[in-house]
Every structure is written in C-alpha cells, then in structure tokens.
Structure 1
Amino acid sequence: MTDWTGRRVEVEVGAVAHGGHCVARAEGRVVFVRHALPGERVIVEITDDKGGSFCRGDAVEVLTASPARVEPPCPLARPGGCGGCDWQHATGVEQRNLKAAVVAEQLKRLAGLDWDVEVEELAGGLLHWRTRNRLAVDRQGRPGFRAHRSHKVIPVEHCYIAAPGTVDQVVGKKWKPRAEVDVSVDANGRTHISEITEVRRETVSRRVAGSAVAVERAARRDWRLDAHGFWQVHPDAADMLAEVVAEWSGVKPSACAWDLYAGVGLFAAVLAEQVGQEGSVIAIESSRRAAEDGADNLSDLPQVRVFAGMVEQVLVDGDLPDPHVVVLDPPRKGAGREVVDAIAARSPERVIYVACDPASLARDVASFAGHGYRLTRLRAFDTFPMTHHVECVALLER
C-alpha cells in the first residue's frame, strides 16, 4: 500500500475543493493541499496518506505565488498550526471567490445545476468578528484550538478572528487539563464563559463568567437564549438572513408558514409578522432548551406554535396545517430525503433553505427537484471570513 506520509513533492495547484483546500496531482495521485491557492506552484509535505488514489498535505514552500496571496495575520495560520482558519493567506476578495467556486461546483456536481454564484461580504471585515468560540485545553491547562484533522491542541495567546470579549478573556489562565471552554459575547457586550469537563462519562459544565442566558438582537427584537446555544457567530448574520427570508417568503396575511430547525425562533418571528394574527406559524426545533427559549421569545405572537422534537418525527406525527411557505435551517448534514419528502408532500408554494454546507444544500436541492421544485434564487454570504465556511440561502419554487 502506498504511503507518502512525510514525503515532499512539487505540484501545480489546481482548483479549490470543498473543505478549505485545493486539488493537485502528483505521479497520478490526487493531493488535497492546504495553505495553497489555485495556480500556484508549491512544495507539498504529505501529512495524511491512507493509501489509494489520494492523500493530503500542506504547502510548506511557495515557488510561484498567486497574485491573491497575502501574509497571514496570525502566525499560527501555517502548516502544523491552528486548524481554525483555512484562507488567511488569501485576500478577502479571493476568499469569497474561492467559496463561490465551491458552492457552484457542488450545485453542478450534486444537483446538475449551472449557477453563477457570488459570495457577499458582510460589514466588519475579516478580523475580530466571531462572537462564539469553543477552545480545547491541553494537558498543561493551556487553552487553544485543535490542529487540522487532529486532536492536538495548539495553545494560543490571541485569536485574530475572535471578537473582543471572547478568546481574550480565556487565554492567559489555567484551565482543567483536557477540558473545553465555551466563551461568547452577546449583544449587550456581556461575556459568558463555561468550562466543560467529563466526569464519570457525564458532561459537566461549570459557569465561570456571565450567566446562563445571553441577549441577542436581530429582526428588530431582543432574544434571550442559552449563552452557549445556537446563534449565528457573525454579528451581522442573523439580521441579514432574516431580511432575505422576509423578502422571499411571499406569504400573505392569514396564511400558514413553517419554520423547521427553528432554533429560538428568529425566522418564525419574521413569518409571524407577515401572516398576522389570523395566520399561523409552525416552529419545530429538536433542542428542548432552544424550543423553550423560542416559546418564551415569541410569547407575544399567539399565531406561533412551537414544537420540541425531531423535525422528521413532528412532520409525520403532528397534526399540522399545510404551509404556503417552508423555511428550513438544518444542521451541517442537511435536511435529508425523509424531511424533503415530508415537506414536498404538503405542496408548499415556496421553500427557503438556509444552509451552512454547500454539499448538503446541493443534495437537498436535487431531492426537491425530484418533487418538482426548482431553484430560482440563491444568495451566499461570507459569514465566516478566513475559514472555508459559507452561508447560503436558496429559494425553491413549485
């Protein structure tokens, strides 16, 4: 079996691929290369080789640089360093171009669609945007982030993409070895920190700073939620996504709308304003804590009914009215065929799909196409600068 681990090869870097790397070829094998850009000629050190047709490596020397290459602001954004950022060595414009290429490639390969994708920049630039972080702790009690595709903890003294009031409040302190530390800063500028450990196979969370409840603001409302629960990590993302949902829903007063994977109810609130008190909004969320927070946040909107449970189960077991529009914001793995089939069976006029993974989005778009729904609009946002992640919103119409 071929094993190139530790070997260095010279390659011409090809197209970007999903996952924060580019594709190259060496001696007939595919090499997935990090820390490189399309068109460059680099020396790659192979870091992971399980045999077969491909292996993985890091660009350790750049022989011919791309015009879009820049010096990474963080000294740990390098081979063998922190695995949190993928594209610090590229300009902001190039980062968004790379992400657009990935979204377009996934739609073409998995959904058979040719789509011209543009990734839109959000306010605030490339640094100091991430309001929620989870750090690992090494055996010496030092906080840091894991290396790429590794459990190794890289201790940090600073994180260039973290918002003030997050990582800067954790570093320089000793933590329980092998613990994890959740830190967030909310819309009121309050920092919340919890140390998470495993005791006798049970997860134990110890609050260190702040409270159990964070306050966020979006869609002209205040939101109270678990300080370490799900909320968009970019401060402008929630408002932007809510605006797109409001623009695309097409829902009329007195109609019914569904908000699936509803979290604490952001999109349900937008839809509730549109359907009015004579209409109805069904919000389904698998996390009981988030569903309870959502019910509390939306208590002034009697047209909203919140269900706590797995989306696929509630869609089958719940006595739900047929929707005019369905908004869904599934986890990274996507909604899946069972949920897509259940939605299509109710024949909504429109489906608005919010996606944090282009491959999952493309697979589910293909499944919807099998039920007669076509992609009519797509917007993509750079809600995760310096990383390979991108947020998309797709409109599907029957």
Structure 2
Amino acid sequence: MQETDSPAQRQPLTMSRRRMLASAALSATGLSALAACSNTTNNNNTSASGSGGGGNFPSHPKWKFVFVNHVTTNAFFTPTRYGIEDACALLGCTYQWVGSESSKVSEMVDAMNAAISSKADGIAVALIDPTAFNAPTEAALSAGIPVLSYNADVPANSPNKRLAYIGQDLYQSGLQVGAHIISLVPSGEVVGFIATPGSLNIQPRIDGIHDAIKNSGKPINFSEIATGAAVNDELAAVEAYYLGHKNIKGMFAVDGGSTQSVGQIMEKYSLASKGIHGGGYDLQPITLSEVSKGNLDFTVDQQPYLQGFLPVVQLFLYKLSGGLSQPSSTNTGLLFVTKNNVQTYLKTQTRFEGSSDKEVLVK
C-alpha cells in the first residue's frame, strides 16, 4: 500500500469552475448539509470529526475506500488525491492509494484483489484495460463491495459491472480536440502523440481526434506516434519525430507528459513563429507556461480534483443508504485553456489543481 506523496506543483481552477465544483458537490450528494461541512484537513487515514464527519449524517463506521491507480506517483493525480482527502475529511472516511507506478495492469489487478481480500468498503479503479478488471469487479460486487471507475473506463458494451464512471468523456473530448485542430490546421501533416497506445485513459481521445479529422474531409494527414510512459522518453520521442518531419503543420498530444514535451520542442525550435501549431491535455506547470508563451495553442483541463472527490461522495452515500443511493456516472468535463484564460491558472494557488496543499477560500 502506498502512502501520501509529496504534492507536485500543479495549477489552479478558474473562479467559474470553482463555483461549478461547489454545485457539483451539492448535486452529487443531494444533501444541503455538505454546505456546512468542516474544513479540517487530515491525512489519508484520518477523518475530520470522528466517524460522523461533517454534515447532518447519522453515526457510521469510518469506511475505508481503496483507489486503484495506474500511475500512482504521477503529478496529474495530486489534485485527485486532494479531492479524496477532502471528501474523506468531510464525510468521516479513510482511503488507500494503490496500484502501479508504470501502468502495469497486473500490478493494478493484484492491488484490487488485495483490497477485496482486506474487505475494503468501496473500490474506485481506473479501468485502463478492457477486460483485465472484469473478474475482480465481479468478485468485489459479489462480496458486497461497491466498485466505481474513475479517470478511465471500459467501452459501453463491456461486460464489466462497475456501478458508475467519474471522469471525462474521453472519446467526446477527442472529437472536440479534433475539431479544434481542424480549425488551426485545415490541411497538411499533423501528428498525435500518445504515451501508451491502447490504454483506456488516453486511447479513446486519439480515436476521437482521428475520427473528427477523417469525418471532416479536410486534406489532413494524421499520424499517431507512441512516446512512452516516462517524461524523458516522451521528450526524446517528440524531438526525434519533429527532426525527421520538418514539414509538419501541427503537433498535438493526448496525455500530460507528451503535451508538456510538445510545448518544450515547440519552444526549442521556435515552431510557433514558423506557423506550426501545438496543443494537448492537462495542466503541468511547463504546459501552462508554454500556453502562456504562445508555444502551445491550448491544453485541456479535465478537473482531476473532482475525479477524487466525487467517487468518495458516491461510495459514501451507497454505504450510508444500504445501496439505495446508487452511484451515477459523472462527466467531469472539458475546458480549453488558452492564452486568453491561462493566467488565472498561473496566478492562483489551490488544492483544486494541486498547486498548493493548503485549504484556502479563493475570492
């Protein structure tokens, strides 16, 4: 089992999205008591006010929820873990953060099976493989343990019986990013970088981009290139591709590490000034800096904080209601971060995007 990491530097939410967060939390619980919650912050194995937590809830056990992740030390999930911690403090629960550091499905399955054996009260798992988690999910549900997916999900026709998915609609986000790419590069050579092809947290995005470009009928030649899970490898792969394809008109990516790398190569070779466009996903500090400098046209915010906060709320309500309050799938959305709105991210330090570990009221 993995303990809390030191928080990596991340970037903040805008005011409008912060109000959306409050609204989402209230609608997800259906209980106005959340508005009067305690603001005490605790570690992942403590709660804010004993088993009762905050709000007008009856006394209940300090339920333990296990989050199974595919890249447990990745900075992207810093705000996700803050969301988990905040929800656990609010509701009087605990959590464990387990899985793999390098997207090894077998390690994730082992972690999920261990959570089942330890009689966890609920499991949230990033379903990055279409079949590997089917049997553990069935075993958990048979043992009375609710299972949600977050950040990554199986296809709609999957036999996996997880109760709900909390995260971005990945294929639809790819379609929207594809449309954005078409508006920037109406013709020519365009490349899409992907860290781990086939992984269900990012493959649907590049599929959506591909389909959007294909369906547009525009004379765009779109290539898909794997970069690898390690940031240094991603940077090397992006640079090598550019040096071998200097006629490129656009370089885009569907994961945080590859997006950061695209921005760095765009800056190194002054590609924006040559009319080459770039963009991608997530809010790494380097990525936001490259957007601010104009080297990247955009990056996409998928609200990682909500991908931790909302699963805890839904698992809690399932347990509190004896299963009557069934979890519901929640799309955490897509927001294009461009030069027009990136400064809000750069100037505000909050837990919502992992740029600070402090609880603050942002005005």
- TM-score range for the pair, normalised by the shorter chain length: 0.3 to 0.5
**TM-score in terms of structure 1 length:** 0.40
Higher relative contact order (CA 8 A, sep 6+): 2
Which structure: greater helix fraction? 2
Which structure: greater strand fraction? 1
- Name the larger-Rg structure: 1
**TM-score in terms of structure 2 length:** 0.43
